[in-house]
Amino acid sequence: MEITIDKLKYEDAGELFDFENENRTFFEKMVPGRGEDYYHFDTFMIQLEELLNEQKQGLSYFYLIRKRTGEILGRINLVDVDRSQNLVHIGYRVGEKHTGQGVAHKALQILLDNLSKDGFTKILAKTTNNNVASQKVLEKNGFTKLGVSNEEFVMNGETLRFVHYMWTICVT
């Protein structure tokens, strides 16, 4: 499947809202929920405007993963941008009906190519110890496993820990 990644825009609001609602139950199995208010369009729009403002300021960047036909397949986000250290944190999610098709791997690969061109040399990521698929995506894209945190937390009745990863590129 051919995919693209495009920076989030205000015009994506309706389609993104539908995508988030369609995948809510699936996403909440793997990450903490965003709260009931997020799924009311007015609240969603307020939060979208906040994200777009962060993006405009260069504090974070938000991308939609799309099929070449335009359908949203997932999201990939860069947060906690630190230009002084050429460092950023990455996170991603793929809609339930598109998992297992290499979408996250391809999207991350595309984004990593772009990030290295933008001067970023270090990218941090974390996932939960039970999310083996996400761990494989990171490792397939050259991320190094730094370790598993000692701190535990409970999500959906399961005791979990974060697994931390880092991707670096040497600048010549």
The predicted-structure confidence for 144-166, as pLDDT tens digits, reads as follows 999 999 999 888 888 999 999 99
Each residue of 1-27: pLDDT tens digit?
899 999 999 999 999 999 999 999 888
Query: Which range of residues forms the domain containing residue 101?
Result: 3-168
Comparing CA positions, the residue from 61, 45, 57, 59 lying closest to residue 8 is: 61
Interval 17-46 mean pLDDT: 86
From CA 57, how far away is CA 99, in angstroms rounded? 32
User: In the block, which residue shows the tokens 């949203």?
Assistant: 72
Each residue of 48-84: pLDDT tens digit?
999 999 999 999 999 999 999 999 999 999 999 998 9
Domain count, the chain: 1
CATH number at residue 7: 3.40.630.30
Sign of the alpha-carbon torsion through 84, 89, 138, 106: negative
Each residue of 88-139: pLDDT tens digit?
999 999 999 999 999 999 999 999 988 877 778 899 999 999 999 999 999 9
Q: Is residue 171 pLDDT above 80, yes or no?
A: no
**For the residues of 143-157, what is the DSSP string, one character each?**
PEEEEE-S--EEETT
Q: Is residue 31 pLDDT above 80, yes or no?
A: no
From CA 169, how far away is CA 167, in angstroms rounded? 7
Tell me which of 28 and 31 has the higher pLDDT. 28
Per-residue pLDDT, 150: 94
- Please state the φ and ψ torsions of residue 10, each to the nearest 5 degrees: -55, -35
From CA 41, how far away is CA 91, in angstroms rounded? 23
Per-residue pLDDT, 1: 82
